[in-house]
Structure 1
Amino acid sequence: MDPKHFYRKMDALLARIGDAAHDTELLPTVLLELELSFGEELRFHRGRLYEEEDGVFVLRRRDAEDAFPTELSLEAAPVRRVLRHGSYLFDTESPGELGGEQVAAFVVTGSGRRWLFVYDLMPGWVHEEVLLCVNAVRAALNVKLASGDLRSDIEQAAQIQQSLLPTTPPSMDGFLFAGRSQPAERVGGDLYDFIRLSDEMIGVSIGDASGHGLPAALLVRDVVTGLRMGLEDQRKIVYTIKKLNDVIHRSTFSSRFISLFYGEVEQNGNLLYVNCGHPPPLLVKRDGTVQPLGATGTVIGPLRELALYRAYAYLAPGDTLVLYTDGLIERRNREEGLYEIERLRRFVVRHRELEAQALVEAILEDVYAFGHEGVWTDDVTVVVVQRRARA
């Protein structure tokens, strides 16, 4: 077979495998495509596909009406040989239960399952050509199935993360709450949460895990569930977060960390909070002055002992508290300029009359426009707590 012709056809087949959908017809389609593309030239035919089930390989598809074994034992010597090598050409050895006189077989894996491809070899086949062909297809299918597993894992992580976000903001007389998170990838490393501690107190948190994607999302999950469990048991803020730091420090690499702001908003306007290395939320007073709520401790995770203390603030009627993650103030434009905290401060002061949800949306729209409506390169989260002005 002409090498250039072979490689062009192989590239085309591998491209079709790479672009194919992950569904139940993927492997049966490849079974047929492989034979149609190379069977005549490489001298193989009568393909059949087996799937492992309950300790045997069960016949799932065949490209000929011939009688083939409907089950193959995993203990059968020819099957064991294919499983051990990944692919095998039975030329001088009997293929036994696999059927035929001379047979090419290979196994692919995905999602903890295995499938066995078997073809009969016809006179005139060349060992090196057939082996190169089946190994290339086997490798492409293993990558395809593995990528499907990874996407499935990421989809599950995204669903878990979405389930941790508040579905609706809480209600408390005299206050409005709103929040929104925009991940840079399918799963993100930002968090925000509202925890109802009583009819007269709401817990508000926002955080930013180092990195992006699945590792950051798993860290976010641990923090959200840890906060909810600790604070709903009426434990003190500092105690809960120090315990959380201890758990994260022991269960992750020391290079992993998460910044966190947590505050308890009382109906009378008092705010008790801790800030573990998070960008300072902006308390915008009704007259337009701004009070940053700076750090009261270090980020969570890298240090065994977390130095942390509580601080207090007060939301008077008409005041607005804006919490955000660093992806917002570090958003870049084409000139490589940053959005920065000062721009956010000016924007919030100018639009402080907006209600909480409208203010969240306006901030995100301004930040998006600042980056020329380009893709989000970092997770961005905004939370607004607003005490209504007296009539």
Structure 2
Amino acid sequence: MPKETAAFRHKTFYRKLEDILRQIDEEDGLESMLTGILSRLAEHVMGEESVLSSGRLYRRDRRQYEIVRSFGARGKELLGERVESTYPVFEQLEAHRVTYFLPDSEHYDSEIESRLGVGAFAAFYLGAKRDYVVAFGIDDGADLNEVMLTLNALRYAISHRLKEISIEGQIREARDIQLSLLPRRMPELSGYDIAGQSIPADEVGGDILDLIEVAPGILGIAVGDASGHGLPAALQARDVVTGLRMAVERDLKITAVLRRLNRVIHRSGLTSRFVSLLYAELESDGNITWTNAGHDPGLILRADGSLDTMRSTGIVMGPLEDAEYGRHMLRIGPGDLIVLYSDGVVERLDENEDEEFGLPRLEQEMRSSMAEGLDASQICARMLERLRAFGGHSPLADDVTLLVIRRLAD
């Protein structure tokens, strides 16, 4: 089976972060929400496998910053501790938004940090007037690039999540958006049998399924996931699909398409979500070229029983403005089956909520359908029924998207 890549692990981190942010919807007031986020980060993100070892939330009080929440290090002992706003560290944050400080950094005050029980740390501002500072202790020898990636993702996600809470109640308005994103019909590509379906878990979903006629004999294929549900996810999915269609019309290379989409998502103030996307171009002669921004690996089940995967070629879109994406190419032979899906398929829980459906079951179901000679529509329908039955026919906890493409025998 495919091995987990670094990009795929990053996606797992972003999903944990998204789960934490969804839990703050009913909190009262900015400080309450921020302390709730920090508490959950300490519980679910900080630890042995994280670059973050402790956390503190500072609130500005005139010319000082007071610690109002603290985890790790000296913990609650730090509550009420104050640092002057003239400390150069805060000035550096004004200039860089997110930055880290080492004991040998120019503006590092060892007396202040020793009093707080802190060594190396990283921090960022929050709040419209930058009334709050979130700081995290980092272990000696930590990968500073990993620290900055994590902190940028946290700041970006928390800042934009706070902006969007007020619009969560408008979810019904996005229904038309969700419907408009789905292909009205499955386009035809000579020599291929194509079927797909996208089922939202909520009134509006964040999964992406689009097929674009790029040129005669070339089909563009997009499957993705704007993390979360509801209006923000639908708006982000709409932006991705619209941008993708426009870019394809301009005949841009797929790596350039993802770079541009990533910048749009990063700069957007509409949502805090991250987007994974697998975009491919399939030619009628069997060539397939793809780029994968942190999405679940697509499967290519060969007629001879072997397996190829369409792995990640870059991280999910959104956290980093200058993310780069590679591309790969394979050939699809007669009888081969392409399976693209969202994580709602492989992460579907059984009726006891003890076990996920998983990638091995997905491959096994596809192999069985191929052996029985089912067409793409039948494969898709049977797979979705298997998925519902696996969960005891309970409501879907996440959006489910499945696309099946089979190259016909010569």
TM-score (norm 1): 0.60
Counterpart of 2:357? 339
Residues 250-299 of structure 1 deviation map (CA, whole Å, 9 limit, x = unaligned): 11478521100000000100001001101111101112222121111110
- Give 1:188 shift: 0.2
1:81-160 equivalences under 5 Å are 153-160=170-177
Structure 1 residue corresponding to 2:308, chosen from 262, 271, 291: 291
Q: State how far apart, in whole Å, the 2-side matches of 1:168 and 1:278 are.
A: 24
User: How far apart are residue 154 of structure 1 and its match?
Assistant: 3.1
Give the distance between the partners of 1:343 and 1:288, measured in 2 at CA: 15
Counterpart secondary structure, 1:300: coil
For 1:250, the equivalent position in structure 2 comes to 267
Of 394, 398, 401, the residue aligned with 1:381 is 401
2:259 alignment partner, SS class: helix
Partners of 1:296 and 1:241 in 2: CA distance: 11
Alpha-carbon contact 2:168-2:230 (below 8 Å) kept: no
Q: 1:284-363, aligned counterparts within 5 Å? A: 284-333=301-350, 334-352=352-370, 353-363=373-383
Instruction: Measure, in 2, the Cα distance between the counterparts of 1:235 and 1:309.
Output: 14
Q: Which amino acid aligns with 1:296?
A: T
Alignment of 1:202-217 (within 5 A): 202-217=219-234
Distance 2:256 2:313 in 1: 14
Deviation by residue 1:214-248 (Cα, 9 ceiling, x = unmatched): 11111000000000000111111111110110011
Once the two structures are superposed, what CA deviation does each residue of 1:36-64 show, in whole Å capped at 9, x if it has no partner?
Answer: xxxxxxxxxxxxxxxxxxxxxxxxxxxxx
When Rg is computed on C-alpha atoms for both structures, the one with the higher figure is 1
- Aligned partner of 1:238 in structure 2 is 255
Verify: 1:198 aligned to 2:218, yes or no: no
Task: Determine the structure 1 residue equivalent to 2:202.
Answer: 185
What SS does structure 2 have at the residue aligned with 1:351? Answer: helix
In the TM superposition, what whole-angstrom CA distance separates every residue of 1:96-152 from its partner, at most 9, and x where no partner exists? xxxxxxxxxxxxxxxxxxxxxxxxxxxxxxxxxxxxxxxxxxxxxxxxxxxxx987x
Quick one: distance in 1 between partners of 2:233 and 2:209? 14
After superposition, give the CA deviation of every residue in 1:335-382 in whole Å (9 maximum; x if it has no partner).
510001111011111112321111111111111110000000100100
SS at match of 1:235: coil
Equivalent AA in structure 1 for residue 387 of structure 2: V
1:177 positional shift: 1.6
Aligned length: 241
* Contact 1:255–1:302 under 8 Å retained in 2: no
Task: Judge conservation of contact 1:254–1:302 (CA < 8 Å) in 2.
Answer: no
Unaligned segments of structure 1, at least 5 residues: 1-148
Tell me the distance in 2 between the aligned counterparts of 1:156 and 1:357: 31
Q: Structure 2-normalised TM-score? A: 0.57
Identity %: 43
CA–CA distance in structure 2, aligned partners of residues 255 and 168 of structure 1? 31
Task: Name the CA distance, whole Å, in 2 between partners of 1:252 and 1:271.
Answer: 34
Contact 2:168–2:231 (8 Å) recurs in 1: no
Q: Distance in 2 between matches of 1:373 and 1:174?
A: 35
The alpha-carbon distance between structure 1 residues 335 and 189, as it changes in their structure 2 partners (threshold 3 A), is closer
* Pairing partner for 2:288 from 266, 271, 279: 271
Residues 232 and 270 in structure 2, CA contact (< 8 A), matched pair in contact too: no
Counterpart amino acid of 1:322?
V
* Aligned partner of 1:173 among 170, 175, 190: 190
* Conserved? CA contact 2:297–2:310, under 8 Å: yes
Output the CA distance in 2 between the equivalents of 1:269 and 1:252.
40
Deviations 1:136-189 (A, max 9, x none): xxxxxxxxxxxxx987x4333111210121011011210122110010000001
Aligned alpha-carbon RMSD (Å): 1.6
| Partners of 2:241 and 2:202 in 1: CA distance | 19
- Cα deviation for residue 199 of structure 1 reads 1.7
* Alpha-carbon distance in 2 for matches of 1:189, 1:254: 12
The residue number in structure 2 matching 1:371 is 391
Look up the equivalent residue of 1:314 and give its one-letter code.
R
Q: Which amino acid aligns with 2:408?
A: R
